[in-house]
Structure 1
Amino acid sequence: MVDDEQSPHAEERTLRALFDTVVPADHWPAGWDGGVERLLREHGSDFMAWTTTPLATAAQVADRAAILRHARPFAALAPAEQSAVFASLLEAEHSAGPLSALITIAYQAYYGGTRQPAGWGMVGYSAVPDGVEPLDVADPPGIDADSLADTYDVIVIGAGAGGGAVAAELAERGKHVLLIERAQPMRSSELRGNHLQGKRTGLYDVRVGPHAGNPRVLEHPDGTTEVLQAEGDSLAYGLNAMALGGGTRVWQGMSWRFWEQDFRMASTYGTPAGSTLADWPFGYSELEPYYERAEWELGVAGDADSAVGRATPRRRGYPMPALRSDRTREALTIAGRRLGITTSPIPFAINSVDRDSRAACVHCAQCIGHACPVDAKNGAQNTFIPRALATDRTDLLLGAQVTSIEHSGDGTATGVSGVVEDRNGERRFRARADRIVVAAGAIETARLLLASGLGNDWVGRNHMTHGVALAIAGSGPDIKETVGPGHSVATVDFVHRDRNGWGGGVIFDAPLQFPYDKAQAGREFAPAPFGAEHKAWMRETPNLAGTMSMVQEIPHEWTRVTVDPVVKDRRGMPAARLRGTAHDATRANVAAMAQHCSDWLSAAGGEQIITREMSVAPQGQEHSAGTARLSSDPAHGACDPQGRVWGTRNVYVADASLHVTNGGFNPALTVIANALRVGALMPD
């Protein structure tokens, strides 16, 4: 190549031609003008910096191939010639990697984006329905660290589902509470419309944190380790939301009760070799009053007369009717009847009617992983935490990371210390209290207890999430509307169906795919993985339909959270070290549920069905649980039945860490119910 062809301008011309080959112009703009240039310009020096090497390599190999075949650089070729060169490079071993990365970048820019890209308009996608004026709800400012009281009755660490609920319970009991959240205050507008940094599909520096400087260490089964960077892919790091309200700030709100059998799994199925499976120290009946409170105080919309509502004993129905039906629910209900499957609407912590001065759901297309445009989604941030603050007995400290629980040798905690970052900069802080409640999430709760030298050998053990079974139809009926919340219909027919199923799990329709997700799926399902055929497929084919299951995970003795002896976060706190593998019983459970998912989808007319079986997530996910499990005997668990950490006098846990098993359902309602129970049973 001549010097001019090696210049930055020549490379940019080649890259533009490559991106426009992936997404060619038609009635809609090509890739470069449709989002790629803007994304690279705005973020090429921060979270898109990784693109520099693969893009430079892609430009080089494309120009070399073009000159070799046509004696002209890639940008000078006719479109048909460019497509042919690109296709051949995509199949060649030496160039497939950078060309595949370029396709990914093109689809991230054209169909994902940090704000509305061209691909959204092309496929008819809108994050907010027409005519809806989004609200911009702000977090309360909290107090300044210099305004901390001399002492508190209770310090609650973590303002998510469990922390918010227990703070409200204790404050309304008359306790002086300090609620500490490591996230900075945010506005809801910061948590919408950005698909590359949203929680569920976030590929870069997810808006709900924890952001750079908070690594974790993943230990592989062969003993090698990998440092997970918090500013990277949210799935690779672990789907943990650090915000006021925690995961409930941006969740989708599915709110299930665990079944009676979920509290006595070992008694029901036995304890398989190599597992840590055990019964809870109490049964469903003890938690039922708190489930009722959780549904009514959080605000859940559901149908108490459905199979879901009748599956567990209840004294009271849901406070709101189920969300409206849609084509998905109707089609899968009819398909279910063909298979003898009973279906129900999904219970959601989303207003189906106006409630508590907040609007009903407007069915936006990006419920999952994003803040609600009308504040109809119910979470700790707009239910329990405002109640706690309204007592005038709760101080909220934001932007504060607790790095240690201070305690004496007899296990009596005296307070906490950490680092706060506010308008006065970053500095150390200390706070004193009679009791400490840790509700930082299953990984961070275990990490803090371990770093503080608190608890017994069970702290950090028993880590589990859920197995996931997924079926997606590459073609079939047009049943998935571009509306929220994204799921609609479920069956519980495969929950505790027989003694050989290890609990099974709920099955529901797969979430509505965002445009970028569909574009990536099109690399497998479309007639071609790039170019005019892929773009036409994106525009002309209906949303992909699917079914998925949250599968009961059998906790494994090797799955554990510890603290790394070397790697630390930016505040000097030891990083969480994670390891895990799926128990054979979990793998069998997931495989069985994947078949049920596929059968139900096929009965609804799905074709080209592919299944995915994900049996374990050792790095943790949004359903992480079990790392400080309840037990009536310290030989078998980390906390006593009231949530107090064994070996301590006044340290409690109030989040999913307490779960002995995690059910075959999303666990948030159980987290809230049990947190209310912990607060209610805590002695004066």
Structure 2
Amino acid sequence: MTGDEDADVFATHAALRAAVDRIIPADAWPAGWAGGVAEYLKVAGREPLRNAPGLAALAARLDELGGETRAGASFAELDGAEQDAILAGVEAGPGTEEFTDLRRIAYEGYYAADARRPDPVGLGMIGFRHVPEGTEIVEPQLPDGLPSTAVADHYDAVVIGSGPGGGVAAQVLAQAGHSVLLVERMPAVPNSRLRNDHLHDKRNAVYGVRVGPGIGHPRVHASDAGDEVIDGTGDANRYGLNADAFGGGSRIWQGMAWRFMPEDFHMRELYGNPEGASLVDWPISYDELEPFYTRAEWELGVAGEEGALTRRMPRTKGYPMPAFGTEPARELLASAADRLGWGWGPIPLALNSVPHEGRPACVRCAQCVGHACPVNAKNGSFNTFIPRAIATGNCRVLYDAEAIEIEDAPGGASVVIMADATTAEPRRITVRADIVVVSAGAVETPRLLLASGLGNDEVGRHIHDHRTATVLGAVDEKVKNFVGPGHSIATLDHVHAATVPWGGGVLVDLMSLLPLTSALQPAPGVPAWGEKHKEWMREGRAYSFGVFAMGQEIPLPTSRVTLATGVLDRWGKPGARLRKDVHRASQEVEAGMAREGAAWLEAAGAREVRRLLNTTTASAAGEHSCGTARMSDDPATGATDRFGRLWGAHRVVVCDSSLHPTNGSVNPTLTNVANAFRVATRLVEDWPR
């Protein structure tokens, strides 16, 4: 089948259009084809047509069955009941895969917003709004970029990566009077292009993601089944969930801003090292990091409340903003937690619960996770640390530029940068520096170090994330019907507790799911398509509710980032090869957290409680990846010293989540920020002469 025939498969086959109208039949709201699918295919072109030949074969089969049902009739000429009977047979027998593909396309067209179709009919039918009515959109002013022709020959520091670690390093160094070149791989993209798209966002991407990195950034996904090459335009769950954008993941995160517990810094001391694992203690304690946690909360901007969620973490200061107010999901689970005797509280969030530092308060939109904020109330590297660095006059941002090699020497370092990287004529620049700070994330940081021939055998090893579990049920009230910003209530009673082994984890309420997610995964007993499915989307969907669990993952030396053989990026450098092995201890954490999450839902009166399976990212690179340049006082067990200085190098410092020896039981970003303040502060104190 040719490309033109691919694009015309729906125009050619009336059976497919008729089938779409039975998947989403007409009622008080339009049927699928006229209600959005036709327009979707028109503007999306070939993108949704992953299997156009299969769809054409499905159309032929439907017409064949139509003729058997009524002599000489095509599928489109049958009545609705006859069409439904044929589709039910196809769904249950040969043609299942093709019918599932058709159902996916129908739901994408009816229930999923994207940049070309921000408000399809299905969103209006179920009451989904991108922002509350009357919201005034506020776009952050991104810093002006330095033209590549104006890059100086020398800077005191080159910082590679603008996420939380790199942003903090840039701020601390610039405020100390050092000249800083901050190198960001992606172009300066406004927030408006990073939200309201349910087909291309990092969390739920059906197609290429809007937060990079795009083509020319291949990775190899390695497993016992063999190696698979995945490029940066593909499935984010396979490629890796870390966002590529100015500000890194903080541009689109929901902002859960937890401290690790004191026990998280001494995991090996507490639990021992299970056979085959590489569990170690941090070279620092909670007490050493506590002042930097306080600084992180105040300089990033965190809304929280002291109480049940903070009592096991000694604090020297409260939060700069009050916690977010309650909402129905919190009320339901709080009552259930009380009945179980569990402590609970509002989740600390790096979002403005009130106007803060000249920016407005959160408007509690329904798509915070994975999307840029519509009112600039989401706090991240891009609107806190980096603007402060720029304000000193000592820091400039070089957008659309990729560091491809670091050369290290006792008298100074240099970085080879490909600037104007997405243009037809990129420029190769070599910049000298007293210090190079590598903050490119737990995959790209070790890839760059390895490609530069830097570091010891520990570089790239021990990559790990968190174990997760999602438990769903049905409740009697609409407790999470597109109420933002996302997760609202948590309990830490299963962190370093007797209920779950190996340090356990946190339980939170499940955020409100995007409409397309609900359409593709209806509740038990709800048909996957047809009249009852559409009715459930409109009336029953809002009663689905869940608990999300996240817990410790035990690192393994075989889980690692290496350089791929024969797989090169756009600059001829080896791509990252990722392998992720899962220790049985991590599986025990996951199972225990799922069990406790189900208990919480059941105590809340939920029915049909069940765990969703296969929800963990398939890649080694999850949203919380860490450990690939872990800190240690001994180069035999780590890639850097306790201050992020790369063992065996003179002028190279790592300053991101790669440094974390273990990842705690909660989201690690605040710990990343706090540790970055600690690393950068010491770097200033020990500045090389």
Would you call these one fold, judging by a TM-score over 0.5? yes
Q: Distance in 2 between matches of 1:214 and 1:19?
A: 36
What residue in structure 1 maps to residue 237 of structure 2?
Answer: 235
Report the AA paired with residue 164 of structure 2.
Answer: A
Q: How many residues align?
A: 672
Between 1:134-143 and 1:639-648, the stretch displaced more is 134-143
What residue in structure 1 maps to residue 265 of structure 2?
Answer: 263
Report the AA paired with residue 473 of structure 2.
Answer: A
Aligned-residue identity in percent: 46
Q: Mapping of 1:80-159 within 5 angstroms?
A: 80-92=81-93, 94-114=94-114, 115-159=118-162
What residue in structure 1 maps to residue 660 of structure 2?
Answer: 659
Q: Mapping of 1:146-225 within 5 angstroms?
A: 146-222=149-225, 224-225=226-227
Report the AA paired with residue 254 of structure 1.
Answer: M
What residue in structure 2 maps to residue 521 of structure 1?
Answer: 521
Cα deviation, 1:572-617, whole Å, max 9, x if unaligned, reads 2211101112101000111011000000011111111111366775
What residue in structure 2 maps to residue 366 of structure 1?
Answer: 367
The 1:336/1:281 distance shift into structure 2, 3 A limit, reads same
In the TM superposition, residue 329 of structure 1 has moved relative to its aligned partner by 0.6
The 1:8/1:183 distance shift into structure 2, 3 A limit, reads closer
What residue in structure 2 maps to residue 406 of structure 1?
Answer: 407
Between 1:422-431 and 1:568-577, the stretch displaced more is 422-431
The 1:534/1:289 distance shift into structure 2, 3 A limit, reads same
Is residue 487–residue 509 contact of structure 2 (8 Å, CA) maintained in 1? Answer: yes
What residue in structure 2 maps to residue 252 of structure 1?
Answer: 254
The 1:646/1:660 distance shift into structure 2, 3 A limit, reads same
Is the aligned partner of 1:334 residue 2:332?
A: no
What residue in structure 1 maps to residue 483 of structure 2?
Answer: 483
SS of the counterpart of 2:389?
helix
In the TM superposition, residue 79 of structure 1 has moved relative to its aligned partner by 1.0
Q: Distance in 2 between matches of 1:203 and 1:411?
A: 49
Cα deviation, 1:488-527, whole Å, max 9, x if unaligned, reads 10000000003971010111001110111111121x5353
Q: Distance in 2 between matches of 1:507 and 1:606?
A: 16
Structure-2-length-normalised TM-score: 0.95
Is the aligned partner of 1:393 residue 2:394?
A: yes
What residue in structure 2 maps to residue 532 of structure 1?
Answer: 531
In the TM superposition, residue 57 of structure 1 has moved relative to its aligned partner by 2.8
In the TM superposition, residue 80 of structure 1 has moved relative to its aligned partner by 1.0
What residue in structure 2 maps to residue 464 of structure 1?
Answer: 464
Is the aligned partner of 1:317 residue 2:352?
A: no
Q: Distance in 1 between matches of 2:213 and 2:415?
A: 24
Q: Distance in 2 between matches of 1:543 and 1:215?
A: 41
Is residue 69–residue 82 contact of structure 2 (8 Å, CA) maintained in 1? Answer: no
Report the AA paired with residue 220 of structure 1.
Answer: S
Cα deviation, 1:149-168, whole Å, max 9, x if unaligned, reads 12000000000111111110
What residue in structure 1 maps to residue 433 of structure 2?
Answer: 433
Between 1:632-641 and 1:603-612, the stretch displaced more is 603-612
Is residue 254–residue 485 contact of structure 2 (8 Å, CA) maintained in 1? Answer: yes
Q: Distance in 1 between matches of 2:428 and 2:41?
A: 38
In the TM superposition, residue 401 of structure 1 has moved relative to its aligned partner by 1.2
Q: Distance in 2 between matches of 1:559 and 1:336?
A: 36
Q: Distance in 1 between matches of 2:389 and 2:443?
A: 25
The 1:455/1:442 distance shift into structure 2, 3 A limit, reads same
Q: Distance in 1 between matches of 2:273 and 2:310?
A: 29
Is residue 628–residue 653 contact of structure 1 (8 Å, CA) maintained in 2? Answer: yes
Residue ranges of structure 2 left out of the alignment (5+ in a row): 1-7
Q: Distance in 2 between matches of 1:202 and 1:139?
A: 25
The 1:257/1:56 distance shift into structure 2, 3 A limit, reads same
Report the AA paired with residue 235 of structure 2.
Answer: D
Cα deviation, 1:80-123, whole Å, max 9, x if unaligned, reads 1111111100000x200000111111112211131221110000
Cα deviation, 1:188-231, whole Å, max 9, x if unaligned, reads 11112111111211221111111122221111124x11112321
Residue ranges of structure 1 left out of the alignment (5+ in a row): 1-6
Is residue 495–residue 506 contact of structure 1 (8 Å, CA) maintained in 2? Answer: yes
What residue in structure 2 maps to residue 493 of structure 1?
Answer: 493
Is residue 632–residue 638 contact of structure 2 (8 Å, CA) maintained in 1? Answer: yes
Q: Distance in 2 between matches of 1:642 and 1:581?
A: 28
Cα deviation, 1:512-560, whole Å, max 9, x if unaligned, reads 10111111121x5353110111000000012421001111000122211
Q: Distance in 1 between matches of 2:579 and 2:59?
A: 39
Q: Distance in 2 between matches of 1:117 and 1:50?
A: 21
The 1:234/1:656 distance shift into structure 2, 3 A limit, reads same
Between 1:243-252 and 1:561-570, the stretch displaced more is 561-570
Is the aligned partner of 1:289 residue 2:288?
A: no
In the TM superposition, residue 44 of structure 1 has moved relative to its aligned partner by 2.1
SS of the counterpart of 1:274?
coil
Q: Distance in 2 between matches of 1:127 and 1:525?
A: 28
Q: Mapping of 1:612-627 within 5 angstroms?
A: 612=612, 617-627=618-628
Q: Distance in 1 between matches of 2:424 and 2:617?
A: 43
Is the aligned partner of 1:587 residue 2:587?
A: yes
SS of the counterpart of 1:375?
coil
In the TM superposition, residue 12 of structure 1 has moved relative to its aligned partner by 3.6
Is residue 130–residue 367 contact of structure 2 (8 Å, CA) maintained in 1? Answer: yes
Q: Distance in 2 between matches of 1:235 and 1:136?
A: 29
The 1:475/1:87 distance shift into structure 2, 3 A limit, reads farther
The 1:640/1:10 distance shift into structure 2, 3 A limit, reads closer
The 1:596/1:639 distance shift into structure 2, 3 A limit, reads same
SS of the counterpart of 1:555?
coil
Cα deviation, 1:454-508, whole Å, max 9, x if unaligned, reads 1000011010010001101145543213111111100000000039710101110
RMSD: 1.7
Is residue 526–residue 537 contact of structure 1 (8 Å, CA) maintained in 2? Answer: no
In the TM superposition, residue 310 of structure 1 has moved relative to its aligned partner by 1.8
Is residue 161–residue 672 contact of structure 1 (8 Å, CA) maintained in 2? Answer: yes
Cα deviation, 1:387-407, whole Å, max 9, x if unaligned, reads 011111001000011111123
Q: Distance in 1 between matches of 2:48 and 2:570?
A: 22
SS of the counterpart of 1:155?
strand
Report the AA paired with residue 271 of structure 1.
Answer: N
Q: Distance in 1 between matches of 2:586 and 2:12?
A: 50
What residue in structure 1 maps to residue 3 of structure 2?
Answer: none
The 1:309/1:140 distance shift into structure 2, 3 A limit, reads same
Report the AA paired with residue 536 of structure 1.
Answer: E
Is residue 412–residue 648 contact of structure 1 (8 Å, CA) maintained in 2? Answer: no
Structure-1-length-normalised TM-score: 0.95
The 1:9/1:498 distance shift into structure 2, 3 A limit, reads closer
Report the AA paired with residue 290 of structure 2.
Answer: E
SS of the counterpart of 1:153?
strand
In the TM superposition, residue 419 of structure 1 has moved relative to its aligned partner by 4.3
Is residue 146–residue 397 contact of structure 2 (8 Å, CA) maintained in 1? Answer: yes
Between 1:48-57 and 1:597-606, the stretch displaced more is 48-57
SS of the counterpart of 2:426?
strand
Is residue 415–residue 430 contact of structure 1 (8 Å, CA) maintained in 2? Answer: yes
Is the aligned partner of 1:355 residue 2:362?
A: no
Is residue 259–residue 293 contact of structure 2 (8 Å, CA) maintained in 1? Answer: yes
What residue in structure 1 maps to residue 633 of structure 2?
Answer: 632
Q: Distance in 1 between matches of 2:263 and 2:363?
A: 36
SS of the counterpart of 2:361?
coil
SS of the counterpart of 1:665?
coil
SS of the counterpart of 1:15?
helix
Q: Distance in 2 between matches of 1:177 and 1:110?
A: 48
Is residue 414–residue 430 contact of structure 2 (8 Å, CA) maintained in 1? Answer: no
